[in-house]
Amino acid sequence: MTNVVTEQELAEKALAPRVTKAQIDALMERVTYTVEQRPGGTTSTFVHAFLDGKFFLATGFSACVNAENFDSEIGERMARGNAEKYAENKLWELEGYRLFATNL
């Protein structure tokens, strides 16, 4: 038995309205990102995710212990990957709540 659930399996079993992966993917296309590297001379990189450039969704970050190991490209790539994952999770949460609230 596998613990992987496919979109097709969910669609086949869904009897009520639900948030779909396609909806979340469409929203993710509207997410923009800003980058903040080495604030205050730290070894940290922050990437902030905004829906339509206005509504804050999430922040991803990366850091290294020693400044000699700091690489801005790697830091940004890791922080952005985290921001994308966190933003997608937040959209699932927000869209789920929106669906719940409209069905009260």
Q: Is 6 inside a domain boundary?
A: no
Closest CA to 37 of 66, 68, 77: 77
* Containing structural domain, residue 37: 15-99
Q: Contact 58/92 with Cβ under 8 angstroms?
A: no
Distance CA 92, CA 28 (A): 11
Q: Is 46 inside a domain boundary?
A: yes
Q: What are the pLDDT digits (tens) for 61-104?
A: 999 999 999 999 999 999 999 999 999 999 999 999 999 999 87
Distance CA 86, CA 25 (A): 14
42 or 57, greater pLDDT = 57
Segments of 1-104 assigned E as strands = 31-37, 44-51, 55-63
Q: Is 50 inside a domain boundary?
A: yes
Q: What are the pLDDT digits (tens) for 49-63?
A: 999 999 999 999 999
Structurally, the chain folds into a number of domains equal to: 1
Q: Is 3 inside a domain boundary?
A: no
Task: Look at residue 93 in the predicted model and tell me its pLDDT.
Answer: 98
| Mean pLDDT of all residues in 31-46 | 93
Q: What is the CATH number of the domain that holds 47?
A: 3.30.160
Q: Contact 79/73 with Cβ under 8 angstroms?
A: no
CA angle (73 as vertex; 49, 65 as ends), nearest 5: 95
Q: Is 5 inside a domain boundary?
A: no
Q: Is 82 inside a domain boundary?
A: yes
Distance CA 83, CA 81 (A): 5
